[in-house]
Structure formats: structure tokens, C-alpha cells
Amino acid sequence: MTSDPEFTATFVKMLGFLLLMAGGAVGLLLLIKRATRSGGPVSGRQLINVLSTRPVAPKKSIALIQVPGDILVVGIAGDNLTLLSKIEDRDLVAELSTQPVQPTFSNLLNRFSSKSTKDQPLEP
């Protein structure tokens, strides 16, 4: 049972090429993973935070999401996101951004609605 030396050389070349291609694929995947990791330009810091979520119906909820400089009120239904409102009161945004304990959604909405109704006159 002697093997053909040409067959052995071809097999070794094919195996070497296969290992080279597999190593290149793994290296490329690691490079892509490293490039797409992190939460943005500031490493080690979360730029998007979910402050609170509240279900309002089956498969439907409302979320308060903090992005740099703003807090967004977002409706979530299935796989759809809808911007419902943007909290623009800078004092409230600063207060919500610095709170260490996650407040309840109803408390945040009550604070937001009470501040926004104080600034606007009641219509007859």
C-alpha cells in the first residue's frame, strides 16, 4: 500500500490552502466584530439608555429612551418603533439623566405633564 507521491503533495497543498482560507475567514470575522463593537465614538460609555418601559396593550408598549441631549418617548408595537414625543425641557432632561435610581414610568410622565401644563395657558 504505497501512496503516490504526487497525490500526497497535492493533498498537503490542498490542506494548507484550506487552513489558510479558514484562518483568513476567522481573522476577517474578528476584524468586523471589533469594528462594529462599542456603543459609538466614546468607548466604554453607553450613548443610548432605556430609562423606562411600560406595556399599554398586548405586544405594545411605551418607552423613555435617553440619547445624548434628549429624552424620547417611543411607542413600540411588534417590530415597529414610533416617535411619540421628545422631552425638550432641559431641566427635566438634566434631572432624568442624573437620576441613579430608575423611576417608574408613571412618575416620569406625571412630572413631564405637570411641567408642560404649567407653561401653557388653559384654553376655554
Contact call for residues 70 and 51 (beta carbons, < 8 A): no
Q: Which of these, 69, 55, 54, 72, lies nearest to 112 by C-alpha position? A: 72
Q: pTM score, two decimals?
A: 0.44
Q: Please write the tens of the pLDDT for every residue from 38-91.
A: 544 544 567 888 888 889 999 899 998 888 878 889 999 988 999 998 887 777
Average pLDDT for the chain: 78
Neighbours of 55 (CB within 10 A): 11
pLDDT for res 87:
83
